[in-house]
Structure formats: C-alpha cells, structure tokens
C-alpha cells in the first residue's frame, strides 16, 4: 500500500478535472473505511467484470483514507494509495470520483467534499447530516462545475428513492412524501409490540446486537429521520433544504401500554417522517404515529425502511427495503458511482436536487397548530365522579368530536387511565383541550398524544 501525505499536482500546477477519456478506468477514492467503506471495496472488486460490462469501463479504487492506517479491516489494500488527509485525497490528480463516507456535517466531511467539487471531481456521499445542513451550497458547486453530486445512500439505505425523485417523477407534482426512515426505531417498536418489552429493554438489546449506537440519541429522538426527510421534502417540493424547520418528536415516551391500546383500536405505532404541501407552506414533521393494521406501512417491520410518495400523475407508490447495513448501503453507493462511470465528457448533468439551485424556493414552514387529523390520547386522571364529563366538556369546547372514550383501568392510588380517539381535528384544538383538562385538576402527569395517520 503506497502511503501519500500530500497532493501530487500535475506539472502545470493546475487541477485536472474528472472528465476522463471514455473506456479508461474510473479512478475512485474512498474516505472512510467503516462497515460501508469496506463493503464497497468488496463489492467493486467482486463485481468488477459485471460493472465494467454495464458501465462500459472498469472501476478502479486508487486511494483511501481513514483514521488508522494500521487497523486490520479484513480487506486487501495492496496497490491502493493511503492518504493521511481526506482533503489531500479529495484533490489528488489521480482521482476522478471522491466517495465521502466519513460522516458528520462539519470537519473533514464538509471540507473534503467542498475541495473535491472545486477541484473538478465528481462526488458520491452517504452523509445525510452533511446534505441536510450544506446540501444547497454543495449542489451549487456541483452545478457550477458541471459535476455529479450523488447521494442515494444518504436516504433510506438501499432503497433507490433519490433516483426516483430526481428522475422518474420529474413530470409529477408531488403533494406528500412520508415513510419509515430509521431502522433502529422501527426495530425497537417492532420488538416492543411482538414481545411486550419496554422501550428501555428493547433499546439495550438493539445496542447489544449492533442495531443502535452506544449513544442512540440521534436515532431515537428522530434527528436522523428529520435529516432524511428534509432532503426528500426539498426534492419533492422544489424548496431549499431546511432540516431545522421540521417538527420533531422521538419514540422515547412510547410505552407497551400505548402499543397494546393501539392494537386494540386497530392500529400499529411507527415513527414516521411526513412532508405535505399545504396552502400555508410545507408541513414537515417527524413523530410516532398510529397507522391502520393491514396498511402497507404498518407491515414494515424490523430494520426495514419504506418511503411513500403521492404525485398528481403517478398516484401513490411505495418503495421498501433495507435502510441500513454495510452491503445495502454499499450497493447504493456503487450505483451512484456507476452513474458517473456511464457519463461522458461534455455531457450536461441534471441538477443535483431535481431542479437547479437558482430555482429552489425558500422553505415556508406550515405551523403544526394547523395540522389536521385524528388523535390518540392516553390520560392519567383522578378517579372520581365527574372526570369523564369534564374531559368530554373540554373536548366539546374545542369542537373536537370523539370517536371513542374508554377507561382502561383504575389504580390503587386513586387514578385511572382514560384512552380517547378523536375524529379529524387540529393540533391547536387538541393542545387547548389538554391545557383545559390540566387546569381543571383532572390530569395527573403528562398526557400521551399520538397522531393517527391514514396512508
């Protein structure tokens, strides 16, 4: 393995572009040799003959970088140049495509991708955090240089949703995009339902099995889903990416009792990312939701992801598949590389985000208070005469129509659990009613509120 510590510019001192001669090898650099990076190397090598036939040219991994050059990763790097710096690898004259698998929205990931694009290199990344924060500026750099910035693996792993949004649905006006975008959360909720395990126990088991990180906050609080949804919403509605404009709730407050109550009512709980075009802007939200048993989205279990799209011409469609894992993610990265290999010098590439950056509209956030739908409410209340009537009165004062109201059990401490399911109403009305119940002194502790989604 050749060890390289700095750039090797050509004799003119100018940066060479990635517009290589057709049928010449496409020279690939990989920054980050974790599970995905190693799986990508194996995939490119194992499928070398097939990839060359399909792309019309060989794919060659010429340079890599990672934290430790001495770590045994179970992959042969003989003949591959090792770079100590991701920035140096990104601008190397011996590289046509820079593959960023470092992760994070700043640091080496951002600087190396920026430098690669400025140096005329095509870029492939699986980094949803980077795109959610800096995707617009990076897309602009790519467009200015006539380069490809591909990121299929950044959203929903092996599901080809980015290509579908960017190419297949070009003629559609998308009105809604939603889905299960985090395998860790879906795995935990599936185990809680099937085995009656608590959230805490399921999380600990997911960490033991490698489905959850040692610090799982990014997943279980919904941030990971929000980053992916922000990218999809921008492509769906032609707006700039605004991850901070997404309403966010995680799954940490979901209990076994909630899951059992949902099943009794004909629902299953999933963490969903939902973005909808409304008259007041884009309503983008991530939160647990009840979906009807028997619906396609309710049947997505374990670490599987699913994305549903509604378009004016195509109607409704849903794609599902592995949302994470080394091989599935590497497959998506390899597909992005293959697209670059098939392109030719002088070819005008399509816009990174589905339409030119200059035409993207500012993101206008629709307030959650205007969200309309059904709601599941679980209330711990004082077990005394008049409580049910007081709750019903507060609901009626906000014009909330109740589909059902059930007292599930009375406890020895003088409290009872009340479960309500409403017909379609607004978020504002629900919150006002809960505030009123709390002011009446009927509510003991926090109320559980879960939105009902009808796919």
Query: What are the catalytic residues?
Result: 228
Q: For residue 98, give the 3-state DSSP assignment.
A: strand
The answer to whether the beta carbons of residues 450 and 258 sit under 8 Å apart is: yes
| Gap between the Cα atoms of 187 and 190, Å rounded | 5
Q: For residue 289, give the 3-state DSSP assignment.
A: strand
Give the rounded distance of the alpha carbon of 241 from its chain centre: 13
- Kindly give, in sequence order, each residue whose CB lies less than 8 Å from that of residue 107, ignoring residues fewer than 6 positions away: none
In this structure, what are the phi and psi dihedrals at residue 309, rounded to the nearest 5 degrees? -130, 140
H or E segment to which residue 60 belongs: strand 59-65
What number of other Cβ atoms are within 10 A of residue 232's Cβ?
25
**Separation of first and last alpha carbons in the chain:** 53
The answer to whether the beta carbons of residues 45 and 78 sit under 8 Å apart is: no
The answer to whether the beta carbons of residues 376 and 49 sit under 8 Å apart is: no
How far lies 62's CA from each of 95, 114, 199, 418, in Å?
Answer: 7, 20, 45, 63
The answer to whether the beta carbons of residues 329 and 153 sit under 8 Å apart is: yes
In 200-334 the beta strands, taken as DSSP E runs, fall at: 247-248, 267-278, 281-292, 304-311, 315-322
The first and second tokens of residue 210, run together, are 């490698």
Long-range contacts of 344-351 (CB under 8 A, 24+ apart): 344/22, 345/19, 345/20, 345/21, 345/22, 346/19, 348/146, 349/142, 349/146, 349/147, 349/148, 350/166, 350/167, 351/139, 351/143
């Amino acid at each position: 393995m050749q060890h390289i510590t700095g750039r090797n510019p050509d004799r003119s001192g100018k940066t060479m572009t990635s517009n290589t001669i057709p049928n010449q090898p496409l020279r690939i650099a990989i920054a980050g040799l974790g599970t995905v990076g190693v799986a990508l190397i194996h995939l490119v090598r194992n499928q070398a003959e097939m990839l060359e036939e399909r792309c019309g040219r060989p794919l060659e991994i010429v340079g890599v970088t990672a934290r430790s050059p001495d770590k045994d990763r179970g992959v042969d790097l003989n003949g591959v140049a090792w770079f100590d710096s991701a920035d140096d690898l990104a601008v190397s004259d011996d590289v046509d495509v820079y593959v960023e698998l470092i992760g994070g929205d700043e640091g080496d990931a951002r600087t190396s991708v920026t430098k690669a694009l400025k140096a005329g290199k095509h870029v492939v990344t699986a980094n949803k955090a980077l795109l959610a924060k800096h995707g617009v500026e990076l897309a602009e750099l790519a467009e200015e240089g006539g380069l490809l910035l591909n990121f299929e693996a950044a959203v929903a792993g092996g599901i080809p949703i980015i290509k579908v949004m960017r190419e297949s649905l070009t003629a559609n006006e998308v009105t809604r995009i939603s889905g299960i975008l985090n395998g860790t959360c879906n795995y935990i909720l599936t185990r809680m339902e099937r085995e009656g395990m608590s959230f805490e126990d399921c999380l600990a088991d997911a960490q033991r099995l490698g489905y959850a990180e040692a610090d799982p906050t990014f997943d279980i609080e919904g941030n990971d889903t929000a980053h992916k949804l922000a990218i999809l919403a921008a492509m769906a509605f032609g707006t700039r990416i605004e991850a901070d404009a997404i309403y966010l709730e995680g799954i940490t407050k979901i209990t076994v009792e909630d899951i059992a109550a949902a099943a009794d009512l004909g629902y299953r709980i999933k963490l969903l990312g939902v973005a909808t075009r409304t008259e007041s802007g884009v309503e983008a939200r991530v939160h647990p939701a009840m979906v009807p048993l028997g619906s396609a989205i309710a049947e997505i279990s374990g670490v599987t992801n699913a994305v549903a799209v509604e378009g004016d011409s195509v109607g409704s469609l849903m794609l599902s598949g592995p949302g994470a894992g080394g091989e599935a993610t590497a497959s998506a990265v390899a597909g992005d590389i293959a697209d670059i290999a098939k392109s030719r010098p002088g070819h005008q590439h399509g816009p990174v985000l589905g339409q030119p950056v200059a035409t993207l509209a500012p993101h206008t956030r629709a307030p959650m208070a205007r969200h309309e739908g059904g709601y599941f409410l679980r209330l711990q209340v004082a077990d005394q005469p008049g409580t049910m009537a007081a709750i019903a009165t507060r609901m009626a004062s906000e014009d909330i129509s109740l589909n059902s109201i059930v007292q599930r059990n009375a406890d020895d401490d003088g409290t009872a659990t009340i479960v309500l399911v409403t017909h379609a109403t607004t978020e504002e009305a629900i919150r006002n009613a809960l505030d009123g119940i709390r002011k009446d002194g009927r509510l003991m502790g926090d109320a559980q509120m879960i939105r009902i989604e009808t796919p």
